[in-house]
Structure 1
Amino acid sequence: MSLIVQKFGGTSVADVEKIRAAARKAIRAQRQGHRVVMVVSAMGKNTDRLLELAAEIGPNPPAREMDMLLSTGEQVSVALVAMAIHELGAEAVSLTGGQIGMKTDSSFSKARIQAISTERIESLLDAGKIVVAAGFQGIDDELNITTLGRGGSDTTAVALAAVLKADACEIYTDVDGVYTTDPRLLPEARRVEVISYDEMLELASLGASVMHNRSIEFAKKFGVPIHVRSSFSDTEGTMIVTETESAQAPVSGAAMTPNEARVTVLGVPDVPGKSLQIFSAIAAKKIAVDMVVQNVGSNGRADVSFTVQRSELAPTLTAIVSIIDLIGASGVTHDENVSKVSVVGANMANQTGVASRMFRALADADVNIHMITTSEIKISALVPREQAATALRAVHQAFELHQKPDDAKSWSEIKADRGDTSDVKTIVSRLRDDALEALTLTGISLTENQARVTLFGVPDRPGIAADMFETIGNAGILVDMIVQGYDGEDGSTSVSFTVNESELAQSVDVAKQVAKKHGMRDVQGDGGIVKVTVSGIGLRSHTHVATLLFQNLAANDINVEMIGTSELQVNAVIDAKHAQTAKEGLTKAFADSLC
């Protein structure tokens, strides 16, 4: 008999009528022949009310007691849902996180799942019960109640689907699927029928509120098909699986992260170990860094730029100021009035001109670009906050995301092509029993025979990036990494891109043409570099990955010339003569996480 995990968020169980509607969906699934596990969040604004109560008691409640308090919201919900199922003529048993055997570490408010004991759930399912499990919570080795943090009920649902080898995990929410962008911002946004784990991971990290990135990490790791559906209609929704909706469309979605802040550490000595010192200081404050750009240095110094959430700017600056003298940097600047606009697409890596198309759309909308980072499936641009909505609409229109691709496939067509009905993989058997949510790296690789071209003194005005990469594209040059960061002089920026070493001379010639046209200060081109890439699942939520990479390179006296990060990769450009040393060192450092 097939097994389905159904997750109902707070808006889906916000009142008695909605609780009854959720109960009916579970009963209907059971009567269709499925075994059913429900994962339920706290009702509506219940968690917010609990937080308000805690604040009335005092400003600094103990983390353990906060988890004890917040976990009660789900306990109320599961009991009411189970009662509703009984009233509707079926049988159900409600269970807390501890009762379902959800073992976590002891990181209160942001605990990670270590193991799940399934015996009790399976016994209840075998007895014909619907299991109603509390999301968002677990217990540690000392039997303390812990909570999983933002999106914790999503993570609970996908984790249970993984260990129970469920046929699908249905996420019921107040929207009817995943859209090409937030429909509240762009009414023309289109619901997609199928989206890949990688695309959804990037969109979730960019603030797409339908799913949290930790739950997508779990789904990708264990191959759990996720079905995002509306609690209030029978619309088909969106499947999140390995495959993409289209094999041709370069971009599947766009996102805008509104409240970003940019920090630039100026004049950092261009020697090994400096990136490690900067990001270790930030990590010590438990601050998550997003876009990271270290561009090519000049006169023995480089500038390192990165973004953080606007709310974390003050502690970030405090951390940086405390180490300015230690690292020998000349200063730090910041801008708290910026937003990030990104496009995501699994087919992006196989097509040229995607970046220039995005930059042209922004230029035509008169949107200025402050920073650029790219990965194989994502391009992000930092823009002025007041232009963020305009920028999002511009890129959404440029890639015609409101229109369904001509080759788009439905989930049923994809299932027929793949020839099976389940994505559940064997990777679960290769993980330690106490490390379900552990970092899982899929590889450490080298991209060799690379060269880098850097344009210094790039005017900070709209249209420059578009013209630059259109000219490069028209010359038939295939670009890999692109980073744009502050130059530290006259408010200008510097832009670097990597190409195959065989195209270095041509790339420099084209860059000089662009530099002359726009009055840029200088162009430099160098070969003999490699890109070191750490790829895996959970790179952003396991914040130590970049720090460990920098630590290992510094220990081997290897200087980092460029940095680029994404949800799925951390990339560092280094001197080619250190390539094998870097790969061997990183393989050893991450040995426990490689699969």
Structure 2
Amino acid sequence: MSLIVQKFGGTSVADVEKIRAAARKAIRAQRQGHQVVMVVSAMGKNTDVLLDLAGQIGENPPAREMDMLLSTGEQVSVALVAMAIHELGAKAISLTGGQIGMKTDNSFSKARIQSISTERIQRLLSEGNIVVAAGFQGIDDDLNITTLGRGGSDTTAVALAAVLGADACEIYTDVDGVYTTDPRKLPEARRVEVISYDEMLELASLGAGVMHSRSIEFAKKFGVPIHVRSSFSDTEGTMIVAEPESMTQPVSGAAMTADEARVTVLGVPDVPGKSLQIFSAIAARKIAVDMVVQNVGQDGSADISFTVPRGELNATLAALDSVMKSVGAKGITHDDEVSKVSVVGMNMARQANVASRMFRALADANVNIQMITTSEIKISALVSKRQSADALRAVHEAFDLHIRPADAKNWKQIKADRSEADFETLVNRLRADALEALTLTGISLTNDQARVTLHGVPDRPGIAADMFEMIGQASIFVDMIVQGYDGEDGSTSVSLTVEKKDLAKTIEVAKTIQAKHGMRDLQSADHIAKITVSGIGLRSHTHVATLLFDRLAADNINVEMINTSELQVNAVIDATNAAKATDSLKKAFAESLM
């Protein structure tokens, strides 16, 4: 008999009528021949009410007691849902996180799942029950109640679907699927029927609120198909699986992260270990760093720029102040009135001119680009916050995201990309370890690379578009693009990597660009390599980049360029050290490699 996990968010169980509607969906699925596990969040604004009560007691309540308090919201919901199922004539039993066997570590308010014991759930299902499980919570080794943090009920649902071998995980919410961008920001946004795990991971990290990235990490790791559906209609929704909606469309979605802050550490000595010092200090304060850009240095120093959530800016500056002297940097600049606009697509790496198309759209909208970072499936540009809405609209229109591709897949055509044998192997392996342990899919080396850097790039709209249109017209394939601040005069520098065989041609184009726009300097290197750490959970396991910097510093290997994404951390180094760096990283990450 097939098994379905259904997750209902807070808005889907906000009152008695909605609870009855959720109960009817579960009963209907059971009567269609499925075993059903429901995962339920706290009702409506119940969590906010509990947080307010705690705030009235005191400003700094103990984290353990907060988890004890907040977990009661889900316990109310599961009991009421089970009662509703009974009233409608079916069998149900409600279970807390501890009762479903959800074992976590003891990191209160942000616990990670270590294991799930499925015996009780499977027995109750075999007895004909609909199992109603509390999302968002578990227990640690000392039987303390723990909570999983933001998106915890999504994570619970996908984790249960993984270890139970569910045929699908249905996420019922107040929206009817995943859109090409936030429809509240852009009414012309289109609902997609299919989106890949990797695309959804990137969009979730960029603020797409439909799903939380931890739950997508679980789904990708186990090959669990996720079906995002509306609680209030029978719209078919969106399937999140291994493959994208279209094999021809280069971009599947766009996103805007509004409240960002940019920090630039100026004049960092261009020697091994300095990036490690900077990012270790920030990581020690549990600050999530995004859009990391280290460009090529001049005169023995480099500038390192990155973004953090706007609310974390003061804590970030305090962390940097503590290490500025030991790092030997010249200063820090920052701006908390910036936003990040990104495009995401699985087919991006196979199609030329995607970057220039994005940059031209921004230029035509008179939007200035302050920073650029790229990965195989994402291009992000940092822009002024006041221009962010125009920027999002421009890139959405540029890639015709409002139009359904001719080769778009229907969700009914999609099958889960996993075999029974592979699934059992993966489940058994992960049951022996922490379920949310970092899983690396590879450490790879790209040789025969070259780099071209332009310094003194004018900080005005259209420059990036012009540069990459000229490069594209020369039929040069660009891999990494990094744009960062070039000093206190407000200019920027742009570095790009190409295949070594294309270096001479790239230099000729770059000289034309330099002369046209009055850029200060042009540098190149023909003996570099890109080392890439790829995996599932890079964003939620923030130590990956720190460990990479640590290993390279220990081997006295200098990092020339950095960029990061949800799926990869990339570092450009001198090719002489490539083999040593690869071996060192494989040893450092041996336990996490699949």
What TM-score do the two structures reach when normalised by structure 2?
0.99
Instruction: Give a deviation string over 1:31-89, Cα, whole Å, max 9, x none.
Output: 00000000000001111111111111111111111111110100000000001101111
1:526-565 aligned within 5 A: 526-565=525-564
Alignment partner of 1:228: what SS?
strand
* Aligned counterparts of 1:156 and 1:235: Cα–Cα separation in 2: 24
Change (3 A) 1:153 1:226: same
Give the corresponding residue for 2:461. Answer: 462
* Aligned counterparts of 1:236 and 1:487: Cα–Cα separation in 2: 49
Contact 2:294 2:302 in 1 (8 A): yes
Instruction: Give a deviation string over 1:482-505, Cα, whole Å, max 9, x none.
Output: 000000141000000000011111
Contact 2:443 2:585 in 1 (8 A): yes
C-alpha displacement of 1:125: 0.2
C-alpha displacement of 1:514: 0.6
Give the corresponding residue for 2:71. Answer: 71
- Code of the aligned partner of 1:178: V
Instruction: Give a deviation string over 1:197-238, Cα, whole Å, max 9, x none.
Output: 000000000000000000000000000000000000000000
Contact 1:446 1:532 in 2 (8 A): yes
1:139-538 aligned within 5 A: 139-415=139-415, 424=423, 426-538=425-537
C-alpha displacement of 1:413: 2.5
* Aligned counterparts of 2:208 and 2:450: Cα–Cα separation in 1: 35
* Aligned counterparts of 1:332 and 1:425: Cα–Cα separation in 2: 51
Contact 1:112 1:437 in 2 (8 A): yes
* Aligned counterparts of 2:139 and 2:354: Cα–Cα separation in 1: 46
Contact 2:261 2:338 in 1 (8 A): yes
- Code of the aligned partner of 1:74: E
Instruction: Give a deviation string over 1:125-166, Cα, whole Å, max 9, x none.
Output: 000000000000000001010000000000000000000000
Contact 2:223 2:418 in 1 (8 A): no
* Aligned counterparts of 1:166 and 1:580: Cα–Cα separation in 2: 42
* Aligned counterparts of 1:419 and 1:213: Cα–Cα separation in 2: 21
* Aligned counterparts of 1:424 and 1:72: Cα–Cα separation in 2: 34
Instruction: Give a deviation string over 1:82-120, Cα, whole Å, max 9, x none.
Output: 011011111100000000000000111100000000000
Contact 1:562 1:572 in 2 (8 A): yes
Number of residues paired by the alignment? 594
Give the corresponding residue for 1:90. Answer: 90
* Aligned counterparts of 2:526 and 2:93: Cα–Cα separation in 1: 65
Give the corresponding residue for 2:55. Answer: 55
* Aligned counterparts of 1:223 and 1:470: Cα–Cα separation in 2: 39
Contact 1:82 1:94 in 2 (8 A): yes
* Aligned counterparts of 1:283 and 1:456: Cα–Cα separation in 2: 30
Alignment partner of 1:431: what SS?
helix
Give the corresponding residue for 1:114. Answer: 114
* Aligned counterparts of 1:549 and 1:279: Cα–Cα separation in 2: 11
* Aligned counterparts of 2:5 and 2:433: Cα–Cα separation in 1: 22
C-alpha displacement of 1:411: 2.2
Contact 1:158 1:218 in 2 (8 A): yes
Change (3 A) 1:159 1:57: same
Give the corresponding residue for 1:27. Answer: 27
Change (3 A) 1:587 1:542: same
Give the corresponding residue for 1:572. Answer: 571
Alignment partner of 2:191: what SS?
coil
C-alpha displacement of 1:419: 11
RMSD in angstroms over aligned alpha carbons?
Answer: 1.3
Contact 2:115 2:431 in 1 (8 A): no
Question: Where in structure 1 do 4 or more consecutive aligned residues deviate above 6 Å?
Answer: 418-423
Contact 1:224 1:424 in 2 (8 A): no
Instruction: Give a deviation string over 1:536-564, Cα, whole Å, max 9, x none.
Output: 00000000000000000000000000000
Instruction: Give a deviation string over 1:323-352, Cα, whole Å, max 9, x none.
Output: 111100000000000000000000001011
C-alpha displacement of 1:440: 0.1
* Aligned counterparts of 1:578 and 1:572: Cα–Cα separation in 2: 12
Instruction: Give a deviation string over 1:292-346, Cα, whole Å, max 9, x none.
Output: 0000000000000000000000000001111111100000000000000000000
* Aligned counterparts of 1:284 and 1:456: Cα–Cα separation in 2: 33
* Aligned counterparts of 2:405 and 2:421: Cα–Cα separation in 1: 25
5+ residue gaps in structure 1? none
- Code of the aligned partner of 2:323: I
- Code of the aligned partner of 1:248: T
C-alpha displacement of 1:425: 6.7
Contact 2:514 2:522 in 1 (8 A): yes
* Aligned counterparts of 2:460 and 2:426: Cα–Cα separation in 1: 48
Contact 1:223 1:425 in 2 (8 A): no
C-alpha displacement of 1:527: 1.0
* Aligned counterparts of 2:169 and 2:423: Cα–Cα separation in 1: 11
Change (3 A) 1:425 1:341: farther
Q: 425-434 or 162-171, which moves further after superposition?
A: 425-434
* Aligned counterparts of 1:358 and 1:298: Cα–Cα separation in 2: 29
C-alpha displacement of 1:509: 1.1
C-alpha displacement of 1:424: 5.0
Alignment partner of 1:195: what SS?
strand
* Aligned counterparts of 1:521 and 1:489: Cα–Cα separation in 2: 14
- Code of the aligned partner of 2:270: D
Change (3 A) 1:171 1:419: closer
